[in-house]
Chain A
Amino acid sequence: MDTLDGTEWDVLIVGTGLPQSLLALALSRSGKKILHIDENGYYGGTEAAFSLQEAEEWEKHIDEDVSAAAFSNISITKSESAVSETTPSLSFSRAYSLALSPQLIYARSTLLQYLVSSKVYRQLEFLAVGSWWVYSAESDNMDNGEPSISSESGPRHGRLLKVPNGREDVFQDQVLDFKAKRALMRFLRFITEYEEQMEMWEDHRTKAFPTFLSEQFKIPITLHAPLLALTLSPSVSSQTTTEYALPRIARHLRSIGLFGAGFGSVIPKWGGMSEITQVACRASAVGGGVYVLGKRLSCIDGPTSADNSEEETSGFRLRLNDGEAISAQHVVGELSRPPISSATCCKSITIVSSPLPPLFPPIAEDAPPPACAVVVFPSGSLPLDADEQAAELPPIYIFIHNSDAGECAAGQSVLYASTTLTGEKGFQLLKKAVRALLLSVDVTPAPNVLWTLQYEQHPRPLISLLALDPDERPLDLLTDLAFDDSVLDHVKGIWQQIMGDSAGDFLVFEDREANQGDDDE
């Protein structure tokens, strides 16, 4: 009875990453018989979140599995400082829920809209992303700068400058001179309706964004970094194009204030996107979907014999890793095996012994307290070696989650760092950035690094429907640092193909439970 052998399904979904889980959610009320499997012993795929112990198991086992090509060069470092009664130390394993692919979700993202319309938002909690900071290597000498939060004395280190949060902030800024302010204000006015002003940027479309800022708006170089930061661009600034940057900055600014004053993006509590994948799978299970972990699609035996010739597309005969033969009308997953690809980014997750309060100033009156801060090291701000051209190095992004995010013990914080420099140099750069960040935050006692996980991430194919003529779409939308709505468009396309004419509205459901008219929400 514990075997799947001989079972027939309408849809087999392979993998429990975010796209697959959203598809499962979309199909959860369709009445279709769904089998949802994952080769791992955990949910979430590349979006998984781990306790310390799970992370250690992951580190040990992933290298055995060649097919798990999403990650490589994983290693964990525990603080080597002697454990005494007074030094802060790690809490128990399950106090942590560390996200492998943390992303910001902008308030205007259709993801949030769909989580609401499908009612699964009731099982989720979202927390505000507060301040954005840009690292500057120049030490803090001319300080009247209230944007700087570093101490005045101490060793030579850089400082963090707060990115103005919209036009009011720029207006009230004490540091900017009048000319710079005016240029910046002009740009911010332009970006609110940049789509209508093609003539302003048409010529710069594929050219470097900083050049556009200088030539078109006379924005001083010192203000390029904060604007580039808002793009979350993985590339060096000279390769970040205007057509890439404008919509992303616009998305940032247009999202501010949608769910409360002063912030424009949110993170899910308890482990980032992993939480969304699990909530989506749970909803699918409640709808009758069957979930089996540690199960892999090992081969496709062929189309099911269509002797009764009623339908042409009568599905597939499939084999799972334990030899179980099943059949399914539709098969969805990361089906096109990625070619052995080189990594696209290095990431690290660092647990720090301090809540780093200076990074989390209140956002605004009435706004919820922030649980996430963003620190950006612009390309060029951190040289790797003396002889290395720092300008050639890509930027480093660090998301700092405090313990409100439910991912670490109280009094600590988690630093999620990433850069597109790969290999050993990428890891070195991340270490350097984490150290620079901690030095530039003025807290007593000084924060210690308690634990670090580092890994390289590889691009993944988008999920696709199994067809006899596979269409190759090696796309990778999930290594972006902010959730990309086109993931949902893609999932919707697959959902439509499965549902055909009876599709109805995508991800629009009633509450499962009549709320007995007691709505305290």
Chain B
Amino acid sequence: MADSGATAQPKPSSSVKLVLLGEAAVGKSSLVMRFVNNDFQENKEPTIGAAFLTQKCNLPTRTIKFEIWDTAGQERFASLAPMYYRNAQAALVVYDITKPSSLIKAQHWVAELQRQASPGIVIALVGNKYDLASPSSGDSAEDADAAPAAEGENPEEEEGADARRVPTKTAKAYADEESLLFFETSAKTGMNVAEVFTAIANAIPETSLKGPRGVGGQTNLGRQEDNRVNLVGGRTEGPKEGCAC
């Protein structure tokens, strides 16, 4: 195992596979668009198909290149996710703070990840659409609990400024119990978006980046692993005349 820092290389860089999960319309793709392009589209169409994006995150001692797999649009068939979170090192489970049912769905995803995904996976629970909440609403757990939105679909029309239906406390308590990272974000304003990814990057254990034997570690695409066979190295002038037999 090559020891980093021994030579004058810049910073060690590793790839981290991150999968995005959550109910439709909670803002998964918007979070990624904000993180990757620092961009937000107000009435974004539902994502068709799935998406793959990459973005770097610079930490003081290393660079993490996120490979972000968005299952967008296919949650309803629930068949894409297992293939996506296979060997993922991180998962972003998103709910909408104005829609309690989306937290329930997020909890299902967390349970499934804990059951099926790589044992060392870092899970972040993210309550999105913070911009729809009034500034102090997160703390006043009572009124949110007491007034369950009949059908949390278009709450802001009736309730005025504060559309929050999931108190910060509730989600935070759940996240603590399950040892998840927890953030409330707004893809619209950009609040906390970069912070989520930085926190995930910091939470990925060094060991799972170091080598292929790390728990749940995989696809360290940025680095040449000692025991990986390099298919595009110097010698590949031609598996051309391969003898097909």
Shortest Cβ distance from residue B6 to the other chain A in the assembled complex, whole angstroms: 17
CB <8 Å contact, B231 and A403: no
Q: Does B213 belong to the interface (CB within 8 Å)?
A: yes
Q: Does B8 belong to the interface (CB within 8 Å)?
A: no
- Which A residues touch B226, using CB under 8 A? 368-369
**With A1-B76, A269-B212 as given contacts, are A258 and B236 in contact (CB-CB < 8 Å)?**
yes
Which B residues between 66 and 90 are near A, CB-CB below 8 angstroms?
A: 69, 71, 74, 76-77, 79-80, 82-84, 86-87
- Which A residues touch B86, using CB under 8 A? 278
Count class of interface residues, chain A: 35 or more
Q: Does B5 belong to the interface (CB within 8 Å)?
A: no
- What CA separation (Å) do A106 and B212 show in the bound complex? 22
CB <8 Å contact, B52 and A286: yes
CB <8 Å contact, B230 and A259: yes
Shortest Cβ distance from residue A53 to the other chain B in the assembled complex, whole angstroms: 10
The chain A residue with its CB closest to the CB of B232 is A116
Q: Does B150 belong to the interface (CB within 8 Å)?
A: no
Within the complex, which residue of B69, B223, B239, B243 is in contact with A113, where a contact is CB–CB below 8 Å?
B239
Which A residues between 504 and 521 are near B, CB-CB below 8 angstroms?
A: 512-513, 515-516, 518, 520-521
Chain B 89-128: CB-based contact to A (< 8 A → 1; otherwise 0): 0000000000000000000000000001011000000000
Q: Does B44 belong to the interface (CB within 8 Å)?
A: no
Q: Does B227 belong to the interface (CB within 8 Å)?
A: yes
Binds A, one of B160-168, B177-185, B214-222: B214-222
Which B residues between 156 and 203 are near A, CB-CB below 8 angstroms?
A: none
CB <8 Å contact, A270 and B231: no
Which A residues between 411 and 441 are near B, CB-CB below 8 angstroms?
A: none
Q: Does A485 belong to the interface (CB within 8 Å)?
A: yes
Number of interface residues of B (CB under 8 A): 50
Within the complex, which residue of A1, A489, A518 is in contact with B244, where a contact is CB–CB below 8 Å?
A489
Q: Does A493 belong to the interface (CB within 8 Å)?
A: no
The residue among A116, A123, A484, A485 with the most chain B CB atoms within 10 A of its own CB is: A123
- Which B residues touch A110, using CB under 8 A? 239, 242, 244
CB <8 Å contact, A521 and B77: no
- What CA separation (Å) do A484 and B86 show in the bound complex? 26
- Which B residues touch A516, using CB under 8 A? 56
Q: Does A383 belong to the interface (CB within 8 Å)?
A: no
**With A125-B228, A287-B49, A404-B213 as given contacts, are A282 and B84 in contact (CB-CB < 8 Å)?**
yes
- Which A residues touch B239, using CB under 8 A? 107-110, 112-113, 258
**With A108-B243, A248-B245, A250-B243 as given contacts, are A43 and B82 in contact (CB-CB < 8 Å)?**
yes
Shortest Cβ distance from residue B214 to the other chain A in the assembled complex, whole angstroms: 11
The chain B residue with its CB closest to the CB of A108 is B242
Shortest Cβ distance from residue A475 to the other chain B in the assembled complex, whole angstroms: 15
Binds B, one of A164-172, A199-207, A289-297, A327-335: A289-297
Q: Does A94 belong to the interface (CB within 8 Å)?
A: yes
Which A residues between 105 and 143 are near B, CB-CB below 8 angstroms?
A: 106-110, 112-113, 115-116, 121-123, 125-128
The chain B residue with its CB closest to the CB of A274 is B86
- Which A residues touch B223, using CB under 8 A? 520
Q: Does A254 belong to the interface (CB within 8 Å)?
A: yes
- Which A residues touch B80, using CB under 8 A? 285, 291
- Which A residues touch B48, using CB under 8 A? 288
- Which B residues touch A123, using CB under 8 A? 219, 221
- What CA separation (Å) do A167 and B233 show in the bound complex? 24
CB <8 Å contact, A247 and B231: no
CB <8 Å contact, B69 and A121: no
Within the complex, which residue of B119, B227, B241 is in contact with A92, where a contact is CB–CB below 8 Å?
B119
Within the complex, which residue of A1, A285, A410, A484 is in contact with B50, where a contact is CB–CB below 8 Å?
A285
Shortest Cβ distance from residue B113 to the other chain A in the assembled complex, whole angstroms: 12
Shortest Cβ distance from residue A194 to the other chain B in the assembled complex, whole angstroms: 10
CB <8 Å contact, A247 and B243: yes
Q: Does A380 belong to the interface (CB within 8 Å)?
A: no
Chain B 34-75: CB-based contact to A (< 8 A → 1; otherwise 0): 000000000000001111111010000000000001010010
Within the complex, which residue of B49, B225, B242 is in contact with A285, where a contact is CB–CB below 8 Å?
B49
- Which B residues touch A403, using CB under 8 A? 213
Chain A 345-387: CB-based contact to B (< 8 A → 1; otherwise 0): 0000000000000000000000011010000000000000000
Q: Does B30 belong to the interface (CB within 8 Å)?
A: no
- Which A residues touch B76, using CB under 8 A? 1-2
The chain B residue with its CB closest to the CB of A486 is B244
The residue among A112, A259, A270, A287 with the most chain B CB atoms within 10 A of its own CB is: A259
Q: Does A12 belong to the interface (CB within 8 Å)?
A: no
**With A43-B82, A278-B83, A291-B74 as given contacts, are A254 and B243 in contact (CB-CB < 8 Å)?**
yes
CB <8 Å contact, A520 and B222: yes
8 CB-based A-B contacts, threshold 8 Å? A108-B241, A122-B219, A259-B230, A278-B86, A369-B226, A489-B244, A513-B54, A521-B232
Closest 4 CB pairs of A and B: A288-B49, A108-B242, A247-B245, A485-B244
B residues sitting closer than 8 Å to A (CB atoms) are 13, 48-54, 56, 69, 71, 74, 76-77, 79-80, 82-84, 86-87, 116, 118-119, 212-213, 218-219, 221-233, 235-236, 239-245
